[in-house]
Amino acid sequence: MIKTFLIERISWILFFLLSQVFILFVSFIDSSIPLTSLLYIVFLSLLLFIIFLVVRYPKETRFYKSLIDREDDLDLTGVVDSNSPFEEIVENSLTNQTILLKKVAVQNQTHLEEEKDDLLSWIHEVKTPLTAMNLMIDRMKDERLKSNLTFEWLRIHLLLDQQLHQKRIPFIENDLYIEKIQLEDVLFPEIKTLQSWCIHKGIGFDIELEELEVYSDAKWLSYIIRQLLTNAVKYCTSSDIQITSKQRNGQVILEIEDFGRGIHSKDLPRIFEKGFTSTTQHQDNASTGMGLYLAKKAALSLHITFQVKSELDKGSIFTLIFPKRNEFVKITSM
């Protein structure tokens, strides 16, 4: 800040120094003016000017220091009061801009809330005809047509479900209810939902659960598992998906292994990024790049650790590591 202060006042400093040099120059060319006396006066003037700069420095930089130190938000309480006309101009400008930005922010937030509520309402409205459509599909006699329609119905259902959770996830902390959950009660309904898709692709499930209980939120854990199973089914053909659970170091480990196309090593660090699909299968229009991103965000709120191992053309293993039981209090205090 000292350097900035001196640069800001450089024209004044140069003017003062040049004026002193000019006085000495006049004394030099005019023999009637004693040079020694003027040197003494110039020395005192320079000393007084330095003292003046030292005294003025904290007074003139206090306001601007507070601007630098304030956080990048719309709160101006940390900015000290102005003590000069120019500082008042800056303060008034900041205040007016802050008021305007707060107003715009409130309007945008209100607009986003309205859009979110409208979208959630629309999703719930669409679920009614989807349910009716599913019932009609169940009554169909043509098994081949029934299977195809069920598969397409399921795709719409999963996309709507993803959109619903995408809108809810920013407020997930308000929606958590941590309890002891039976893994079978979460896994089997999700597998049953994907049954028609699995039959269509010739996929089965090999389930071995050594550990049956975890502490988590049933609804959001179901969503995470739904995304992992959906991914596994999407990229597999005519092979079993293995689901196992075990305990390691006091933590329950749930693994979902598929033998599909796998993930390229260069894509692995990015699979949880929002909107990322693939660099090796970039033409895959079926992927939205949102499933794993939302699953990872939900897992973070539940203190579930994600691990992924994959090899191209051999398959992938997604591992969920649940928190220890003594971390239950930590989760419920969110």
For residue 123, which of 175, 169, 161 has the smallest C-alpha distance? 161
Quick check: 334 pLDDT over 80? no
Contact 213, 182 (CB under 8 A): yes
Q: What is the spatial distance between Cα 176 and Cα 172, in angstroms, rounded to a whole number? A: 6
- The confidence band for 321, taking pLDDT boundaries of 50, 70 and 90, is very high
Instruction: Tell me the C-alpha to C-alpha distance, in Å, between residue 254 and each of 87, 189, 283, 295.
Output: 61, 17, 31, 15
State yes or no: pLDDT of 314 exceeds 70: yes
Please report, for residues 1, 53, 70, 280, the alpha-carbon distance to residue 12 in angstroms, rounded to integers and kept in the order given: 17, 11, 29, 63
Element spanning 256, H or E: strand 251-258
User: In sequence order, what are the beta bridge partners of 204?
Assistant: 240
Residue 46 three-state SS: helix
Q: What single-letter amino acid sits at 284?
A: D
Share of the chain above pLDDT 90, in %: 19
Residue with tokens 């399921």: 154
pLDDT band at 208 (very low <50, low <70, confident <90, very high): very high
The region of weakest confidence among 78-82, 96-100, 170-174, 201-205 is 78-82
* Average pLDDT over the chain, rounded to an integer: 84
Contact 270, 287 (CB under 8 A): no
Provide the percentage of residues in the chain whose pLDDT is more than 70. Answer: 94
Q: What is the pLDDT of residue 279?
A: 65
Strand order in the sheet with 315-321: 204-209, 240-248, 251-258, 315-321, 305-311
Comparing 33-37, 184-188, 194-198, 258-262, the range with the smallest average pLDDT is 33-37
Question: In the predicted model, is pLDDT for residue 226 greater than 60?
Answer: yes
pLDDT in tens, 262-313: 888 888 888 888 877 776 665 555 566 788 888 999 998 888 998 999 888 8
Number of other CB atoms surrounding residue 322 within 10 Å:
25
The predicted structure's pLDDT at residue 257: 93
Helices marked H in the chain: 2-8, 10-29, 35-69, 85-138, 143-168, 183-193, 195-201, 218-234, 291-301, 328-332
What is the C-alpha separation between 32 and 23, in angstroms, rounded? Answer: 13
- pLDDT given for residue 5 in this prediction: 81
pLDDT confidence bin for 37, thresholds 50/70/90? confident
Give the closest residue to 299 by CA, choosing from 183, 217, 235: 217
The encoded tokens of residue 15 equal 């003017």
Token pair, residue 36, equals 């020694």
Task: Compute the average pLDDT of residues 224-239.
Answer: 87
Query: Tens of pLDDT along 102-136?
Result: 899 899 988 888 887 888 788 878 888 888 888 88
Q: Is the pTM of this model over 0.75?
A: no
| Residue of higher predicted confidence among 134 and 252 | 252
Tell me the average pLDDT across 82-108: 85
What pLDDT does 286 receive? Answer: 55
pLDDT of residue 254: 94
Cα gap 26→35, rounded to integer Å: 9
